[in-house]
Structure 1
Amino acid sequence: MRDLDRMIDEALDQEERELLARIGPEPGFFGQAFGLFGGRLGWVNALMMAVQAALFLGGVYAAFMFFDAAEPVAQLRWGLPAAVLLILSLMIKLSLWPQIHADRLMRELKRIELQLARRG
């Protein structure tokens, strides 16, 4: 992969290298994660994270009550909701990963589009 990047860099002229340097490198993990909250769908992602946090906190509370319960029936009453809430929380969080990857892909496509527009 690094060889491919080096070959692409060698194929670019100086003006394109300067332009790509101004765009900057790809953002890190936290930059990509917080980038989910911007744009047209930022409010949807923020709402999903709020719901995810509420489900997680509810799951942690139910898990705490599960470990505090002494009778098997009480353990079932708290253990099953704890497991369901924590799994739902995880599912919502994992649903945001494809958006991060789509944002990365769009960023790369825009760089390619910029390069093609400058050549043509």
Structure 2
Amino acid sequence: MTGIDEKIHQGMNEDDRAFLASLDAEPGLFQQMGAAFVGTMKLWTVFAVILSLVFFGLSIWSVFAVFNSETPVEAIGWAGIGLAGFMATGFVKIWFWLRMNHLTLLREMKIIELRLESLNAN
């Protein structure tokens, strides 16, 4: 522990220590995923998950349609739809992971804010 850490620790009351101790525990992957479904963006997150399932289903359907197509032009069309569906699924998944990263950064900033606030209290 450095000198500044000791000063911060001495300036906190028990409630602050307990809260910071709960924040120091790193949440697991499933806890981070669950946190994305809480707050003001929860409806957008649910919409994104449903959208990714729809795009994935469309992609799988178009792969089967490629093999059942009767002309090469139809097969190329279905393959293009399948490729676009897989890409859209990937883009939605990237958005979801960026949302999780955003929430993790907000959590870390809150920890820093609390530590600076307790330092200024001294």
TM-score by length of 2: 0.77
Residue aligning to 2:5: 11
Secondary structure, in 3 states, of the residue corresponding to 2:36? Answer: helix
**Residue 17 (structure 1) shift:** 5.5
**Residue 91 (structure 1) shift:** 0.9
Deviations along 1:31-79, one digit per CA (max 9) or x if unpaired, are 1122111100111111111111101101111112213335322311311
Seq. identity, %: 26
Question: Cα RMSD (Å) of the superposition?
Answer: 2.3
Residue aligning to 1:92: 92
In 1, Cα distance between the equivalents of 2:56 and 2:106?
A: 31
Residue aligning to 1:73: 73
Matches within 5 A, 1:10-49: 11-12=5-6, 13=9, 18-49=18-49
Greater alpha carbon shift after TM alignment, 89-98 vs 10-19: 10-19
Residues 39/18 of structure 1: CA separation in 2 closer, same or farther (3 Å cut): closer
Greater alpha carbon shift after TM alignment, 69-78 vs 14-23: 14-23
In 1, Cα distance between the equivalents of 2:55 and 2:19?
A: 45
Secondary structure, in 3 states, of the residue corresponding to 2:75? Answer: helix
AA at the equivalent of 2:66: F
Greater alpha carbon shift after TM alignment, 37-46 vs 65-74: 65-74
Secondary structure, in 3 states, of the residue corresponding to 2:27? Answer: coil
Flag structure 2 segments of 5+ consecutive residues without an equivalent.
none
Count of aligned positions: 113
Deviations along 1:67-110, one digit per CA (max 9) or x if unpaired, are 33353223113111111111111111112222211111110111
Residue aligning to 2:58: 58
AA at the equivalent of 2:87: I
**Residue 21 (structure 1) shift:** 2.2
In 1, Cα distance between the equivalents of 2:22 and 2:29?
A: 20
TM-score by length of 1: 0.78
